[in-house]
Every structure is written in C-alpha cells, then in structure tokens.
Copies of this chain bind each other. A is one copy, B any other.
Amino acid sequence: MTELTVFFFRHGIAVERETFAGSESDRPLTAKGEKKTQQIAQRLLNLGIEAELILASPLVRARQTAEILLEVGIAPELIISDLLAPSGSLQEWLRWLSHWRQEHEGALMAVGHEPNLSHWTELLICGKALGHIELKKAGIIGLKIPETDPLGNSQLFWLTSPKLLLNSRGLA
C-alpha cells in the first residue's frame, strides 16, 4: 500500500476581519504576514521540503500564501480550488486526492484554513475531530496518507508553528 506525503499549510497572518472594509474572502496578508511566510517558505526549502503540486484555497490570504510557496520553489505548480475553501469537505478532498495520486508520485502541499486543516488531521489520524491539534498561521502539518481507508489510519510525522521552526534571528 503506497503512502502519500501531504503537507497542510495554514495561510499567513492576514489583516484582521474587524479592520478590513472588503469581503471576508478578500482579506489579504499583512506586510508582516508576507515576510514571515516568505521566511518559513525559505526554511522549508532548506529543510528539503518539496511537493509536486500546491493546492490552495481561493481566499486571497491563502492564495497569496500559496504564491509565496510557489515563488520560493516548494513546488512547480499551483492549483486554486474550492476543495480547500473554509466550506470544503474532507470527503470531497479525499475523493480528489484518490484520483490525483493515481497519476502522481510526489508530495502534495495543501494551503487552507483553520479549523479545517487541524480537524482533517484529527479525522485522518484519530478517526474523529476533537479540536486537540493546534495549527498556527503559517504553520505546517506533515501526514502520510494510505491509499485505502485514510480516516483513522494516516500517520502524523510533523506539526510545527513558525515560531518553533525559525530561530530568533529568523523571526527578527
């Protein structure tokens, strides 16, 4: 049974809902959010993280995050998809994934939102969503997802916040 490596990446720090005049889906990253996401993307590259594809939520803050990952060179391709929007369902994403992996061998980087990403992780590793996994903005989760019965049968090998990945110099 082949295991697929999937990284869940939460969008970077965005302009607060209260202070943004436009629609919720258009909230962009702040300048600090962009900078921090760039630092994290560069660090991921240095750690040898690469993917065959970045799949990202269409919301501006997620799209901008995905574009930074693409520019740094984490993956050669980016697809924007409703599957990773806040309204996206794990079941539908898993159906997409099961098709995608037929034709691809590399890892997938999925850029989206909370609470989805941590709930999906809990469903994948524990079989239920308990709200006990904490994914910070610009944080990453690493999973190995089996071909059959992924719910409750996937492996978690990585979970980190930016703070616990960059050293103090990196965060300056």
Interface residues of A, CB < 8 Å — how many? 29
* Interface residues of A, dominant DSSP: loop
Cα(A18)–Cα(B161), bound, Å: 38
This protein's copies in its complex: 2
Cα(A153)–Cα(B127), bound, Å: 15
Q: Are A159 and B158 in contact (CB under 8 A)?
A: yes
A residues whose Cβ falls under 8 Å from a Cβ of B: 43, 46-48, 122, 125-128, 130, 132-134, 142, 152-161, 163-165, 167-168
Q: Min CB distance, A144 to chain B, in Å?
A: 8
Q: Are A160 and B160 in contact (CB under 8 A)?
A: yes
Cα(A158)–Cα(B157), bound, Å: 10
- Known pairs A132-B153, A132-B154 / 13 extra A-B pairs, C-beta < 8 Å: A46-B168, A47-B163, A47-B164, A125-B126, A125-B132, A126-B127, A126-B130, A130-B152, A157-B161, A158-B161, A158-B164, A159-B159, A159-B160
Q: Min CB distance, A108 to chain B, in Å?
A: 17
Task: Assess A156 versus B134: contact at CB under 8 Å? Given A46-B167, A167-B47.
Answer: yes
Nearest B-chain residue to A166, judged by Cβ: B47
By a CB distance below 8 angstroms, the chain B residues around A153 are 132
